[in-house]
């Protein structure tokens, strides 16, 4: 089992004492091996807002985290810290709360309206991150103590007991997700164009801010500013069951609208494959994590999601959003509810306390991807486009004050005052085994139709076809699925296999498995959305004997029932980053 302990050639220490009143940035917990924390070491998390801004000089006695990472085994070079800015238009603006409308959801083919609008106030202030005097450490949910569970349960209980018109009330907090994700807000000045934070580069920043204030509210309610949310460690075999503290019906953490089949001891199914063998589920899950974190991403947008600017529509989420994130939503949501409430639909997801624990791990994935994956696996880490950095949202803070926040202020979790408990990352080295036999694929490829004869394609069953490579050999190429148009009111998911030799679609721990597309049901104006996804083929080519082949055989496997997905086209292109 691989460990998250990354190589550290030397012990880092600072020689200057830390004044007691000075904010402390602890070393990232994922780098701790057997060395003790040094109370004298500070990490500066300064980042340049855009390519034209410079990073402030590091104060004496502090160590810039990026420099520290370079010293800890050379995890990534300076050229990997930024991505090339795109063409600038205007960033997404925060919503106008007084123009909030009803969110809608399709239940049994009939629209159902929900009021998700928050209290309205005229006083909005620009939020400034407070100084950090003590780092909060978010714990793994399956490892917390009884004392922690008691404190967490008390905090949620007090949140639920707040007056209904208090923006910090539990239902008001749940409504935040409903309003930003299910059509209650329009983009300011853009007519009736929805403001949607999923399926784009806004996904990670929005949810990070969301949890940040949720966590601070809970801490305020119990008088503990050090309180930190737990994360559901579904990427580790020891955490792949629903955390026990959420399944006690007497607890404030309980929600009755969950799939009974997903209660402990059931193992989470990150692939929605319907596999029942726990060992195979764990193997599938680790393969999925390796794929979406490392294998399929050619650039920063493949992981973070596609750009979304003022006046635009979401064009596609990143590998993590459409993979493990969506699968957990669906796995927990109750199939006996009209649209898989609570966690299985955007409008209701925040009503389940487990939502915040789930998204704490999603946020952890962003942190791991930013700082702890080796540079030869993840080529670029940052987006410097001002339309990304200056996108803004509105939240109520722990004092019920409405505040305006921007993406550029949430790029570093340490600067926001929290880190994560150190947990092994078994998926880090869980690269699928090489595929040695290709005879069956060769036989099948002669009868598999060319992709050009099938697309546009209505994907309601397993489909197998040939796609031409750009050139022979182990080329650095991307598989592109274009104009994926979906019915947004449904759970829809499909997996992609290449040169699959055994046609066993329930086993994902093999070289043939490439990646996935999935969506959580949500509202859009015309109940449809269109996106394009890319998946890097480099590792897959290395793991298969296909150097002399002119084409590959692609298999698309729906994990949903019935129609709902149309794919406009599929092709292979050379990786633009290498041109």
* pLDDT averaged over 10-residue windows placed end to end, the chain, 579 residues: 35 31 43 30 36 33 35 32 51 95 70 84 96 97 97 98 97 96 92 94 98 98 97 98 97 98 97 93 97 94 96 94 96 94 94 98 96 76 94 98 98 98 95 73 70 93 93 82 91 92 84 92 81 93 84 93 92 79
**What CATH number should be reported for the domain whose range is 439-578?**
2.60.120
Reduce the DSSP state of residue 111 to 3 states and report it. Answer: strand
Torsion over CA: 139, 140, 143, 146 (sign): positive
- Specify the pLDDT at position 275: 92
CB 187 within 8 A of CB 196: no
The answer to whether the annotation marks 34 as part of a ligand binding site is no
The answer to whether the annotation marks 207 as part of a ligand binding site is yes
Residue with tokens 């139709």: 449
- Domain segments of the chain: what residues? 97-405, 439-578
CB 18 within 8 A of CB 387: no
The answer to whether the annotation marks 325 as part of a ligand binding site is yes
Q: What angle do CA 408, 124, 169 make, to 5 degrees?
A: 95
| Six token digits for residue 99 | 């123009």
- Tell me, yes or no, if the two domains 97-405 and 439-578 fold the same way: no
Q: d(Cα 500, Cα 442) in Å, to the nearest integer?
A: 11
Q: d(Cα 298, Cα 549) in Å, to the nearest integer?
A: 22
**What CATH number should be reported for the domain whose range is 97-405?**
1.10.1280.10
Question: CA dist 82 to 77, 79, 207, 323, 353, Å?
Answer: 10, 7, 22, 24, 35
CB 410 within 8 A of CB 110: no
Closest CA to 138 of 215, 214, 238, 231: 231
- Specify the pLDDT at position 438: 57
402-406 vs 125-126, strand pairing mode: parallel
CB 455 within 8 A of CB 570: yes
CB 314 within 8 A of CB 220: no
Q: Which residues contact 261 (CB under 8 A, 6 or more apart)?
A: none
Q: d(Cα 156, Cα 356) in Å, to the nearest integer?
A: 11
The answer to whether the annotation marks 142 as part of a ligand binding site is no
- Specify the pLDDT at position 36: 31
Which residues carry out catalysis? 177, 198, 207, 325, 329, 346, 359
Question: CA dist 507 to 57, 60, 239, 442, 552, Å?
Answer: 51, 53, 21, 21, 20
The answer to whether the annotation marks 30 as part of a ligand binding site is no
Torsion over CA: 290, 294, 297, 298 (sign): negative
Q: Which residues contact 269 (CB under 8 A, 6 or more apart)?
A: 275, 281, 284, 285, 327, 331
| Six token digits for residue 149 | 């569970």
Q: d(Cα 375, Cα 291) in Å, to the nearest integer?
A: 16
Dihedral-angle region of residue 44 (phi above 0 means left; psi in -120 to 50 means alpha; beta otherwise)? beta
Torsion over CA: 556, 237, 303, 347 (sign): positive
Secondary structure percentages of the chain, helix, strand, coil, to 5: 30, 15, 55
User: What would the 3-class secondary structure string for 33-47 be?
Assistant: CCCCCCCCCEEECCC
Q: d(Cα 428, Cα 365) in Å, to the nearest integer?
A: 12
Residues present in the chain in total: 579
Closest CA to 331 of 396, 281, 385, 404: 281
565-574 vs 62-64, strand pairing mode: unpaired
CB 465 within 8 A of CB 569: no
Residue with tokens 């043939």: 512
Closest CA to 46 of 368, 364, 417, 411: 411
Residue with tokens 């050090």: 226
| Six token digits for residue 453 | 């004869």
| DSSP conformational letter for 350 | G
Q: d(Cα 508, Cα 494) in Å, to the nearest integer?
A: 13
Reduce the DSSP state of residue 147 to 3 states and report it. Answer: helix
The answer to whether the annotation marks 329 as part of a ligand binding site is yes
């Amino acid at each position: 089992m691989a460990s998250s302990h990354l190589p550290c050639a030397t012990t880092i220490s600072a020689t200057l004492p830390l004044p007691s009143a000075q904010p402390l940035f602890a070393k990232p917990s994922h780098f701790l091996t057997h060395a003790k924390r040094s109370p004298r070491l500070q990490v500066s998390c300064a980042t340049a807002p855009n390519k034209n801004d410079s990073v402030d000089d590091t104060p004496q006695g502090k160590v810039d985290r990026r420099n520290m990472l370079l010293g800890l085994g050379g995890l990534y070079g300076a050229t990997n810290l930024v991505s090339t800015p795109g063409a600038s238009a205007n960033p997404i603006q925060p919503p106008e709360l007084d123009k909030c409308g009803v969110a809608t959801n399709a239940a049994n083919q009939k629209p159902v309206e929900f009021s998700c609008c928050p209290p309205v106030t005229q006083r909005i202030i620009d939020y400034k991150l407070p100084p950090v005097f003590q780092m909060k450490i978010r714990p793994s949910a399956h490892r917390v103590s009884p004392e922690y569970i008691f404190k967490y349960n008390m905090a949620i209980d007090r949140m639920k007991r707040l007056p209904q018109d208090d923006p910090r009330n539990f239902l008001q907090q749940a409504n935040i997700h409903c309003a930003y994700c299910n059509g209650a807000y329009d983009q300011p000045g853009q007519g009736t164009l929805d403001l949607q934070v999923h399926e784009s580069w806004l996904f990670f920043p929005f949810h990070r801010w969301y949890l940040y204030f949720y966590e601070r509210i809970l801490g305020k309610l119990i008088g503990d500013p050090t309180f930190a949310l737990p994360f559901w460690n579904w990427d580790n075999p020891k955490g792949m069951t629903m955390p026990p503290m959420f399944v006690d019906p007497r607890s404030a953490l309980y929600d009755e609208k969950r799939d009974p089949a997903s209660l402990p001891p059931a193992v989470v199914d990150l692939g929605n494959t319907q596999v029942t063998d726990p060992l195979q589920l764990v193997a599938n899950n680790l393969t999925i994590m390796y794929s979406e974190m490392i294998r399929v991403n050619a650039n920063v947008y493949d992981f973070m999601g596609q750009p979304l600017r003022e006046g635009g529509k979401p064009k596609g989420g990143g590998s993590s959003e459409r993979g493990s994130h969506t699968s957990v939503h669906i796995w927990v949501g109750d199939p006996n509810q009209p649209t898989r409430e609570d966690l299985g639909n955007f409008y209701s997801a925040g009503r389940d306390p487990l939502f915040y624990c789930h998204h704490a791990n999603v946020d952890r994935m962003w942190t791991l991807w930013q700082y702890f994956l080796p540079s030869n696996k993840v080529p670029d880490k940052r987006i410097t486009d001002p339309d990304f950095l200056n996108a803004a949202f509105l939240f109520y803070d722990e004092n019920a004050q409405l505040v305006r926040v921007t993406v550029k202020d949430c790029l570093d979790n340490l600067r926001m005052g929290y880190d994560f408990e150190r947990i092994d990352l078994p998926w880090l080295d869980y690269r699928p085994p090489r595929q040695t036999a290709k005879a069956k694929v060769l036989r099948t490829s002669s009868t598999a139709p060319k992709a050009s004869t099938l697309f546009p394609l209505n994907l309601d069953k397993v489909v197998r076809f040939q796609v031409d490579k750009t050139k022979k050999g182990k080329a650095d190429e991307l598989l592109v699925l274009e104009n994926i148009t979906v019915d947004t009111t449904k759970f829809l998911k499909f997996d992609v296999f290449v040169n699959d030799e055994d046609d066993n679609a329930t086993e994902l721990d093999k070289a043939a498995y490439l990646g996935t597309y999935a969506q959580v049901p949500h509202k859009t104006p015309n109940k449809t959305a269109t996106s394009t996804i890319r998946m890097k083929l480099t590792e897959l080519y290395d793991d298969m004997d296909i150097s002399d082949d002119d084409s590959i055989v692609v298999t698309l496997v729906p994990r949903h029932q019935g129609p709902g997905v149309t794919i406009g086209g599929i092709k292979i292109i050379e990786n633009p980053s290498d041109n």
